Amino acid sequence: MFQNFRAILSKFLDLIPERKLYQSEYCQELDRHARIIQFPGSLIGSVALLGFAFDTDAKLHPEFPELFYYRIGFSLLCISYIFFILINHSKQTKSKLEGLVWGYVVYGYLLFTAAYYTGRIADDAPYVSGYQMVVVVLSFLPLPRKTLFIYYPISILIFVLSVLIYKPNLDTPSASYSMQNLILSYLLGIFSGLIIERYRFHSFLNHLRVIKKNEEITKTAEEIQVLKTQQDGDYFLTSLLFEPLLGKEVDGNAVTIETILNQYKKFHFRNKEYQLGGDYLSVYNLILQGKRYKAFINGDAMGKSIQGAGGAIVLGAVYNSIIIRSKMDPVSSNRSPERWLHDSYLDLQKIFETFDGAMLVSAVIGLLEESTGTLYFINLEHPWLVLYRDGRASFIEEDIHYYKLGVMEVPMNRFISVFQMKQGDKIFCGSDGKDDLVISDSGKYRDINENQNLILECIEESDGNFKTLINVLESKGKYSDDLSLISLEYNLSPDSKPGQHWKEAKKLIRKKEYSRALDLLLSYDSLLDVSITELKYITKLYEKEENLLKAMEYASLALENFPSDTSWMFHTSVLYKRLYSIFKSPSFLEESQELSERVRLRQPNNIRNLIHLADVCRLLGDKERAQYLVQQIKLANPEHKKIKELIMLIS
Q: Are residues 61 and 172 in the same domain?
A: yes
Residue 577 near residue 612 (C-beta atoms within 8 A): yes
Q: What is the pLDDT of residues 19-28, one digit of tens each?
A: 888 888 888 8
* CB crowding 256-293: b at 16 or more within 10 Å, else e: ebbbbbbbbbebebeeeebbbbbbbbbbbbbebeebeb
Q: Taking Cα atoms as reference points, which of 457, 428, 383 lies closest to residue 259? A: 428
Count of the separate structural domains present in the chain: 3
Residue 77 near residue 106 (C-beta atoms within 8 A): yes
Question: Could you give the 3-state DSSP secondary structure of residue 496?
Answer: coil
pLDDT at 528: 76
Q: Are residues 344 and 453 in the same domain?
A: yes
Mean pLDDT in residue range 365-393: 95
pLDDT at 269: 84
Q: What is the pLDDT of residues 170-218, one digit of tens each?
A: 889 888 899 999 999 999 988 998 888 888 888 888 988 888 888 888 8
Half-sphere CA count of 295, side-chain side, radius 13 A: 22
Q: Are residues 60 and 154 in the same domain?
A: yes
Specify the amino acid at residue 575: L
CB-based contacts of 392: which residues, under 8 Å, 6+ apart? 460
Residue where one domain finishes, among candidates 466, 490, 514: 490
168 vs 647, which has greater pLDDT? 168
For residue 5, what pLDDT band results from cuts at 50, 70 and 90? low
Mean pLDDT in residue range 112-125: 91
- Tell whether 22 is covered by a domain: yes
412 vs 59, which has greater pLDDT? 59
- Tell whether 417 is covered by a domain: yes
CB-based contacts of 617: which residues, under 8 Å, 6+ apart? 593, 623, 625, 626, 629
Residue where one domain finishes, among candidates 456, 490, 524: 490
Q: Are residues 483 and 525 in the same domain?
A: no
Mean pLDDT in residue range 474-483: 90
- Tell whether 231 is covered by a domain: no
pLDDT at 296: 97
Residue 136 near residue 114 (C-beta atoms within 8 A): no
- Asked if the model's pLDDT at residue 469 lies above 90, the reply is yes
Q: Are residues 523 and 451 in the same domain?
A: no
- Tell whether 553 is covered by a domain: yes
Mean pLDDT in residue range 500-524: 88
User: Which domain covers residue 644, as residue numbers?
Assistant: 501-650
Q: Are residues 348 and 481 in the same domain?
A: yes
pLDDT at 648: 84
Q: How far is the C-alpha of 486 from the C-alpha of 441, rounded, in Å? A: 28
C-beta neighbour count of 7 within 10 angstroms: 11
pLDDT at 443: 64
CATH number of the domain within which 616 lies: 1.25.40.10
Phi-psi region of 273 (alpha: psi -120 to 50; beta: other; left: phi over 0): beta
For residue 9, what pLDDT band results from cuts at 50, 70 and 90? low
Residue where one domain finishes, among candidates 455, 490, 525: 490
Phi-psi region of 406 (alpha: psi -120 to 50; beta: other; left: phi over 0): left
- Tell whether 240 is covered by a domain: no
Q: How far is the C-alpha of 593 from the C-alpha of 587, rounded, in Å? A: 10
Least-confidence region, from 84-93, 557-566, 590-599: 84-93
Can you give 459-494 as a three-state secondary structure string? HHHCCCCHHHHHHHHHHHCEECCCEEEEEEEECCCC
- Asked if the model's pLDDT at residue 56 lies above 80, the reply is yes
pLDDT at 2: 61
pLDDT at 421: 94
- Tell whether 236 is covered by a domain: no
Question: Could you give the 3-state DSSP secondary structure of residue 297?
Answer: strand
Q: Angle formed by the axes of helices 100-120 and 146-166, to 10°? A: 20
Q: How far is the C-alpha of 121 from the C-alpha of 167, rounded, in Å? A: 9
Q: How far is the C-alpha of 234 from the C-alpha of 28, rounded, in Å? A: 46
Q: How far is the C-alpha of 457 from the C-alpha of 480, rounded, in Å? A: 19
Q: What is the pLDDT of residues 271-321, one digit of tens each?
A: 888 888 999 999 999 999 999 999 999 999 998 778 889 999 999 999 999
Query: How far is residue 130 CA from its own chain's centroid?
Result: 72
Q: Are residues 486 and 514 in the same domain?
A: no
Backbone phi and psi for residue 287, each to the nearest 5 degrees, phi listed first: -115, 120
| Strand arrangement of the beta sheet that strand 447-448 belongs to | 447-448, 437-440, 478-479
Give the N- to C-terminal CA distance of the chain in Å, as an integer: 110
pLDDT at 542: 94
Q: C-alpha angle with apex 142: 137 to 147, nearest 5 degrees? A: 75
Q: How far is the C-alpha of 339 from the C-alpha of 345, rounded, in Å? A: 10
For residue 12, what pLDDT band results from cuts at 50, 70 and 90? low
DSSP tag of 403: P
Q: Taking Cα atoms as reference points, which of 69, 19, 71, 75 lies closest to residue 47? A: 75
262 vs 91, which has greater pLDDT? 262
Q: Are residues 56 and 180 in the same domain?
A: yes
- Tell whether 241 is covered by a domain: no
528 vs 176, which has greater pLDDT? 176
Q: Are residues 259 and 193 in the same domain?
A: no
Q: What is the mean pLDDT of the chain?
A: 89
C-beta neighbour count of 296 within 10 angstroms: 27
* CB crowding 66-104: b at 16 or more within 10 Å, else e: ebeebbeebbebbeebbebbeeeeeeeeeeeebbbebbb
Q: Angle formed by the axes of helices 23-48 and 66-90, to 10°? A: 120
Q: How far is the C-alpha of 125 from the C-alpha of 86, rounded, in Å? A: 39
Question: CA separation (Å) from 472 to 427, 434, 455, 461, 463?
Answer: 18, 11, 10, 8, 11
Residue 192 near residue 135 (C-beta atoms within 8 A): no
Residue 573 near residue 592 (C-beta atoms within 8 A): yes
Q: Taking Cα atoms as reference points, which of 433, 441, 435 lies closest to residue 457? A: 435
Least-confidence region, from 289-303, 447-461, 629-643: 629-643
Q: Are residues 413 and 280 in the same domain?
A: yes
What pTM, to 2 d.p., does this model score? 0.74
Q: Are strands 426-430 and 483-490 parallel, antiparallel or unpaired?
A: antiparallel
CB-based contacts of 368: which residues, under 8 Å, 6+ apart? 255, 293, 294, 296, 374, 375, 376, 421, 427, 488, 490
Question: CA separation (Å) from 154 to 13, 116, 161?
Answer: 21, 11, 11
Longest Cα–Cα distance of the chain, Å, equals: 160
- Tell whether 219 is covered by a domain: no
CATH number of the domain within which 354 lies: 3.60.40.10
Q: Are residues 515 and 482 in the same domain?
A: no
Q: Are residues 508 and 479 in the same domain?
A: no
- Strands (E) across 277-358 are located at 279-288, 291-301
For residue 649, what pLDDT band results from cuts at 50, 70 and 90? confident
